[in-house]
Amino acid sequence: MESTLFPTTVIGSLPRPAWVLDLILDRKAGRISEEEAEPLLDRAIESSIALQEQARLEEITDGEWRRESYVKVFAERVRGFKADLHDSGMPYPAVVAPLEYHRPLVLHELRFLRARTRRRVKITLPAPYIIGRRMWHADHSRKAYPTREGLMEACVPILRREIEALREAGADTVQLDEPWLSTMVDPAFRRREGIDNPSYEMDRCVDLVNQVLDGFRDLATGMHLCHAHFDRQHGSEGPYGLIMPALQKVRVGTISMEYATPVAGGLDSLAQFPEKVRLGLGCIDHCDPRVETVEDVVKRVEEAMRHLDKSRITLHPDCGFAPSAQNPMDLDEAYRKLKAMCRAARVLREKHG
């Protein structure tokens, strides 16, 4: 895909149709078994594949329609967690026992997708730092892991084992989702989360990403950052200058960042973007119900080209459209936005190829 100018991809999730959301929640509540839910989800995911192909994306995912959320999937597949113990606005699992790799995390997602498309396929996994932040709880987790950092370190070998299996099964790109890194640019967010030493936390986050991805040289790797969102509202805001020194230390192929939304503070921070990494440019604002025009997207990409060579830019939306299944987003709106982005990529190739 890197040989194509302005290649297009998605971050991960697509909005779930209402019946798919019901199916996910019924499965979680035990009203339907996983064995009963899987064939129904298979049929739904075939439509998510078709939607992305019809939008003319070069690289696709399965929409993450088998997951309740992009990060909870880790707790669903790894032993050691108990559901809904950690309430940070939305219930999250908490680790209560030492982690045990019980079954593949997302390998079944990849195999189903790989068998049904000729496009490049991306598979996403939560990064260790976000797992520790979301699913370590002072009251419930200390017996298993006295510190949050202990849980984060325990995630590394599990994620590496999964990535090895994904590589063997034909994944083109493996992306680690790490929104917590970019949320730390917001002083109000840091205060809410009790982060007194952001430099230490940022370096810890990057080191964990490097531990997971080091050595996978025959696989395209990525890391995604964003300001987090639910119901079209972001969880933090601010330009990325504070985290750029940490990004210089990431050993990854592509860093995908949210730049279409106004809360990201504009593209001037790209002047500090690492020189040897591809930029995944968020050029579609998934929180804005207005569907971008082709001209909107072209303008955003050309503004980024003031800072980076065109050969280093990949186009995608700012974030997944629905990282949580409960996120109330519209599937048709997502399709129209993706279609506008892909049309803009063709215009850019004709203009700058």
Q: d(Cα 93, Cα 86) in Å, to the nearest integer?
A: 6
Give this prediction's pTM: 0.95
For residue 245, the Cα-to-chain-centroid distance in whole angstroms is 21
Which pLDDT does position 203 carry in this prediction? 96
Query: How far is 304 from 298, CA to CA, in rounded Å?
Result: 10
For domain 18-352, the CATH class is alpha beta
Confidence band, pLDDT 50/70/90 cuts, at residue 3: confident
Q: pLDDT tens digits, residue range 19-38?
A: 999 999 999 999 999 999 99
Mean pLDDT, residues 277-304 taken together: 97
Q: Strand pairing of 120-126 and 59-60?
A: parallel
pLDDT at 101: 94
pLDDT, average across residues 211-231 = 92
Residue 123 confidence (pLDDT) above 80: yes
Whole-number pLDDT of residue 99: 98
CA of 217: how far to CAs of 9, 125, 277, in Å? 21, 18, 14
313-335 per-position pLDDT tens digit: 999 999 999 988 888 889 999 99
String of DSSP letters for 41-86: HHHHHHHHHHHHHHTT-SEE--BTTT-SBTTHHHHHHEEEEEEEEE
150-175 mean pLDDT = 98
pLDDT in tens, 188-209: 989 998 999 999 999 999 999 9
Percent of the chain residues topping a pLDDT of 70 = 99
pLDDT at 250 over 70: yes
- What is the predicted pLDDT for the residue at 306? 97
Q: Report CA 335 to chain centroid distance, whole Å.
A: 18
Q: What's the pLDDT score for residue 323?
A: 86
- Mean pLDDT of the 225-248 span: 88
- Residues 159 and 113: beta-carbon distance below 8 Å: no
Number of Cβ within a 10 Å radius of residue 334? 25
Residues 90-108, mean pLDDT to the nearest whole number? 93
Q: In the structure encoding, which two tokens stand for residue 203, read together?
A: 């370096």
For the segment 158-186, the average pLDDT, to the nearest whole number, is 96
Percent pLDDT > 90 in the chain is 87
Are the beta carbons of 177 and 130 closer than 8 angstroms?
A: yes
Question: In 3-state terms, what secondary structure has residue 281?
Answer: strand
User: Which residue blocks in the chain are alpha helix, DSSP H?
Assistant: 18-29, 34-54, 72-77, 107-114, 128-135, 148-168, 179-183, 187-193, 198-213, 244-247, 294-304, 331-352
Q: What is the pLDDT of residue 91?
A: 83
Alpha-carbon distance of 204 to 268, in angstroms, equals 26
Per the CB < 8 A criterion, the answer to whether 327 and 20 are in contact is no
- Let me know the angle formed at the C-alpha of 90 by 86 and 96, rounded to the nearest 5 degrees: 20
> In whole numbers, what is the pLDDT of the chain averaged over residues?
94
b/e per residue 236-247 (b: at least 16 CB within 10 A): bbbebebbbebb
Amino acid letter for position 253: G
Per-residue tokens: 183 = 């949320």
pLDDT given at position 169: 97
Name the nearest CA neighbour of 122 among 80, 76, 64, 164: 64
- What SS3 class is residue 176? strand
Mean pLDDT in residue range 290-307: 97
Looking at residue 2, its pLDDT comes to 61
DSSP lists the bridge partners of residue 314 as 280
CA nearest neighbour of 279 among 300, 309, 302: 309
Q: pLDDT tens across 254-280, in order?
A: 999 999 999 999 999 999 999 989 999
pLDDT at 1 over 70: no
